[in-house]
Amino acid sequence: MTTITIEKTDTMPQLESIIQNDGSFFDLIIIGAGPAGLTAALYAGRARLKTLIIEKALIGGMAATTDRIENYPGFPEGISGMDLSHKFEEAVRKLEIPIYYGDVTTISRDRSIIIEGKKIKAKAIIIASGTETKKLGVEGEDRLRGRGISYCATCDGPFYRDKNIAVAGGGNSAVEEAIYLTRFAKKVSIIHRREKLRADKILVERALNDPKIFMIWDSIIEKIEGEKRVEALSLYNNATKIKTKIPMEGLFIYVGRTPNSSFAKEVVNTNKNGFIKTDQEMKTSVPGIFACGDVISKSLWQIVTATGEGAVAAESARKFIEEEYSDNAKKTITA
């Protein structure tokens, strides 16, 4: 996956200034500024909760790296992931909610976080940290990452103009990005371990009818070969049991997602794959800590579900704060 580096500038809020101006505790801290986190912030801001958003990489998350989104309501002609992310961000910025770029390393049951060695406390936390693309875990992947191996077609597609490249995977992301890559590549081969794609039928039809896209069925990649760049892929066919080696100039990998939950899995309950368990109100196993978006255990990972979950999480957080920190309860938070 292409690494996106955010350099802090004078125009970005600094952690020290946030603490100095707003205090070292908030009503709500939202970890992650993807569709779920930004929607949660929108609802929290409208409820006048003192809110801080923390994002470690890119506003919009993985949605921002998607070339075209065609299944989000309100955009019948489709919209780019970056444009949609900007619209989400614009709504949040109007509420003057600070967005800080940093990596949360720890959260605690008392609803505090550690970031850059500093502790910030909140009355409630919403985890909306999303996912990262899974790796194949085969020989050559780590060594050739960034030298012919990519996890983001929107980021790196233009570097593969007139080249013969492959996409590993069979879901929506793999097929969508394969279609996008035909803008640049001479030939795009989709390598899938089964004999049928898992993507939406409309995407499958589009891919199968594209003259630049070729299917390699029932196959897995065993090794990625090349000295300085990707030169070939060693494949194993599950049906025929035959091993082959095919020349290739690039490989884009979309074989699933890993939740960004390592900072929280010792605190809240997760499933065996690390996705955070929640109830229908987005409550985790710890009171006052909520989760939403792609980081939670669910059946459908889509932008539209993430935004709905973000709204529910913010409303649940608001209710928790009002009940837990009412005047009658006389509870306070100290830094």
3-class DSSP assignment, residue 329: coil
CA 324 distance to own-chain centroid: 31
Which residue from 265, 267, 292 is spatially nearest to 278, judged by alpha carbons?
A: 292
The residues, any chain, with a CB within 8 Å of residue 258's CB and separated by 6 or more, are 131, 132, 133, 134, 273, 274
Catalytically active residues, by annotation = 152, 155-156
**CA–CA separation, 150 and 93 (whole Å):** 32
> What whole-number distance in Å separates Cα of residue 180 and Cα of residue 165?
12
Instruction: Annotate 25-70 with DSSP letters as a single string.
Output: EEEEEEE--SHHHHHHHHHHHHTT--EEEEESS-TTGGGGG-S-B-
Q: What are φ and ψ of residue 232, in 5° steps?
A: -160, 160
